A and B are shown apart, each in its own frame.
Chain A
Amino acid sequence: MTPPEVTRIDVRKTYKLYIGGAFPRSESGRSYVVADAKGRFLANASQASRKDARDAVKAARAAFGGWSGRTAYNRGQVVYRIAEVLEGRRAQLEAEVRDATGLTPARARGKVDAAIDRLVWYAGWADKIAQVTGGANPVAGPYFNHSAPEPTGVVAVIAPDDPLLGLVSVLGPVLTTGNTVVLLASEPAPLPAVTLSEVMATADVPGGVVNVLTGSRAEVAPWLASHMDVNGLDLTGVDDPVLARTLEASAADNLKRVRRPRAEDFADAPGIDRMTGFLETKTVWHPMGI
């Protein structure tokens, strides 16, 4: 009797949340099935709960002082480092994008490359946006007066379904400007977001600066929209107009800055409004005299 031919069994990955620099499962113990573009089982992803969302906000708030207080140069280097580490994982990301979208290998590769390039673009903005949007104000009196942008605070981002390029296109601008982030990944295609979390954990992004949740938008997004310690809300990934309106109305309770969903092609040049939408302008006065 000849022994059966041994084929190696894959070591599969457990897809978890990313909160405060750690990778917990949902405290609820729940998961949901993530399928590929043809409906085949890919993985069980964590199904985040209200408590997970609140833990993520808490981690993001704790990280805000440190991240926003870093020099812009340093933040730019950290965002650039994410792109560097992603570059080394292009094959993995290409496979994940193909699984999630059913794109051809060449087009999936194009998405990965564009996503990495987008992060490089935003990395370079970290120490330039203040010069572009701030400056000296020539007031009619003997005063030094100048305005500069500052990050809004904790921003909750509902990511779009474009699983990688869309993801970095919404994360990059809020991160590079010094906000801390609670990101709810694409509900049907969350796996690239989990991989991006693993990249950030090894790319000098301090724990808590970006927190990634996977799960149901209809369940989790309302907790983020109504959370009184969240300062901004990006609704890009909310396709349902009724849900979008409800979330925007909840966000009004503490006057969150809200970016409404709109049709956009992430292949286009992004412009700077994703950065300026989550920046505040601070104006400082001082008398001149001897």
Chain B
Amino acid sequence: MDNVFDYAPAPESRAIVDIKSSYGLFVDGEFRDSAAGHGFKTVNPATEEVLADVAEADEADVDAAVKAARRAWTRVWSRMPGAERGKYLFRIARIMQERSRELAVLESIDNGKPIRESRDVDVPTAAAHFFYYAGWADKLGYAGFGPDPQPLGVAGQVIPWNFPLLMLAWKIAPALACGNTVVLKPAETTPLTALLFAEICQQADLPPGVVNIVTGAGETGRALVSHPDVDKVAFTGSTDVGRAIAKAVAGTDKKVTLELGGKAANIVFDDAPVDQAVEGIVNGIFFNQGHVCCAGSRLLVQESVAEEVLERLKRRMGTLRIGDPLDKNTDIGAINSAEQLAKIRELSDIGEAEGAGRWSPACDLPDHGYWFPPTVFTGVSQAHRIAREEIFGPVLSVITFRTPAEAVEKANNTPYGLSAGIWTDKGSRILWTASRLRAGVVWSNTFNRFDPASPFGGYKESGYGREGGRHGLEAYLR
């Protein structure tokens, strides 16, 4: 379908960000080279342009970071009154707000996500997370974990590339509020906002060693989570890596929280307001190019309205704008990496080969960079791989149902249990359905909403522990 409107380009200026040609590790309050001098390149996925060389931390570097974190914990952070810790977190929140434009542009450049999303969701929510947990730092005795809960010590945290700064905030803010120090490893394809965050820690005069950032890939993460002096492991990423971490920490005293994959059902009942539901479906699966662990990647639509919902969904998909992440009109940005693009292509091809019907709107994809059009599969059976495996891309699988009981049965027919959506006008049906879905977050008549005060996390193989809210403190206290 042709675009109804022509849009003039509306690019956000990237001049606000000063991307250095190379970045070191942030250890003990300072940037330093990796001991072995190894590094890797981070690229702009929308252009394939190399953005910077980034130091790759090996075991020795991770050890140095953990030692710095331990020292800072013992000498400074664990002794500091909660009210003072909280003030540092408030400072960080404020500086993030002050530098929000810079953070948003850098996030979109390094990650590929539309500036509209980094500007309106990632960065403000990350700052809000610090503001929220700042207030907890001197109130922990009221949180329901005993009158005098204590920090664990050093937290080793590994985060994914889909919401680089926001996931950093989810990890660092509660850890620091509870009196822990951290060593955080950002994803290898999106290290830049974490390194800018390190500068923010410097601006906030955060004591050296309280936050350490070690960049690198899987090996760096493995060295971090298996380091014997790490008391707490927090990981967000794939279920396979989460499983490996759970095995690696077995038999130790390390406390672990895992926020892993999902294959959320977005259930549309026949009485749902269709236009709202279609917006919710689009937001559920195409937000952030579908690089969302809680994405509504399985549309369960009641048979009697399936045709109408699909027709309107396709029409709406035809209006989505794909392209330059820095353009303020862009709805769908670049796929984060060549590797992820290959995975999305592979699973989509499998979907076709297994007999599902594939459809994408006609759209021009840029010549350079990693791109995948918004895609919907119809005629999907529950056994199809595209109905079972997390694609982590803008690919929706449509399954129909006849009765509410069948919808619940199909929604729960997955090893995952992170999130789910319900669309209906009937309140009692929402509550009936929500109570039967085995998922940690249920969005009814909305989808993909996040808030620092709202606990987030999964059932079953989507991991354990909660992030956000009072519940999020538990992971960092004993």
Q: Which of A22-30, A107-115, A245-253 lies at the interface with chain B?
A: A245-253
Residues in A with CB closer than 8 Å to B242 are 255
A241 on the B face (CB < 8 A): yes
A140 on the B face (CB < 8 A): yes
Interface string of B228-257 (1 = CB under 8 A from A): 000000000001001100110011000000
How many interface residues does B have (CB within 8 Å)? 41
A17 on the B face (CB < 8 A): no
B463 on the A face (CB < 8 A): yes
Interface magnitude class on chain A: 35 or more
Q: A149-179: which residues lie under 8 A (CB-CB) from chain B? A: 152-153
Report Cα–Cα, A138/B470, bound state, in Å. Answer: 11
Out of B250, B441, B470, name the residue touching A285 (CB < 8 Å): B441
Out of A244, A255, A281, name the residue touching B471 (CB < 8 Å): A281
Query: Count the A-B residue pairs with Cβ separation under 8 angstroms: how many?
Result: 103
Residues in B with CB closer than 8 Å to A287 are 445-446
Out of A132, A246, A281, name the residue touching B457 (CB < 8 Å): A281
- Nearest A-chain residue to B461, judged by Cβ: A255
Residues in A with CB closer than 8 Å to B471 are 133, 147, 281
B440→A281 contact, CB < 8 A: yes
With A254-B415, A254-B461 as contacts: A139 and B454 at CB distance below 8 Å: yes
With A141-B451, A143-B449, A147-B469 as contacts: A249 and B441 at CB distance below 8 Å: no
Residues in A with CB closer than 8 Å to B451 are 137, 139-141, 145
A38 on the B face (CB < 8 A): no
B434 on the A face (CB < 8 A): yes
A283→B440 contact, CB < 8 A: yes
Looking at the assembled complex, report how far the CB atom of B242 sits from the nearest CB atom of chain A, in whole angstroms: 7
Residues in A with CB closer than 8 Å to B459 are 152, 280, 282
With A253-B243, A282-B439 as contacts: A140 and B444 at CB distance below 8 Å: no
With A137-B455, A285-B449 as contacts: A257 and B250 at CB distance below 8 Å: no
Interface string of B121-147 (1 = CB under 8 A from A): 000000010000000000000001000
Residues in B with CB closer than 8 Å to A284 are 434, 441-442, 444
A180 on the B face (CB < 8 A): no
- Nearest B-chain residue to A253, judged by Cβ: B243
Residues in A with CB closer than 8 Å to B457 are 281
Residues in A with CB closer than 8 Å to B247 are 249, 252
With A147-B455, A246-B250, A285-B442 given, name 16 new contacts (CB 8 A): A137-B451, A138-B453, A139-B453, A143-B449, A145-B453, A147-B454, A244-B251, A249-B246, A252-B243, A280-B440, A282-B434, A284-B442, A285-B454, A286-B430, A286-B444, A286-B446
Chosen A-B contacts, 29 in total, with CB atoms closer than 8 Å, are: A132-B144, A135-B470, A137-B451, A137-B454, A137-B469, A139-B449, A139-B451, A140-B451, A140-B453, A145-B451, A147-B469, A231-B460, A245-B251, A248-B246, A251-B250, A254-B415, A255-B258, A255-B260, A255-B462, A255-B464, A280-B440, A281-B471, A282-B441, A283-B440, A283-B456, A284-B434, A284-B441, A285-B446, A285-B454
Q: CB within 8 Å of B: which residues of A?
A: 132-133, 135, 137-141, 143, 145, 147, 152-153, 231, 241, 244-246, 248-249, 251-255, 257, 276, 280-287
Cβ-closest 8 pairs across A and B: A245-B251, A252-B246, A248-B250, A139-B451, A249-B250, A252-B247, A137-B454, A286-B444
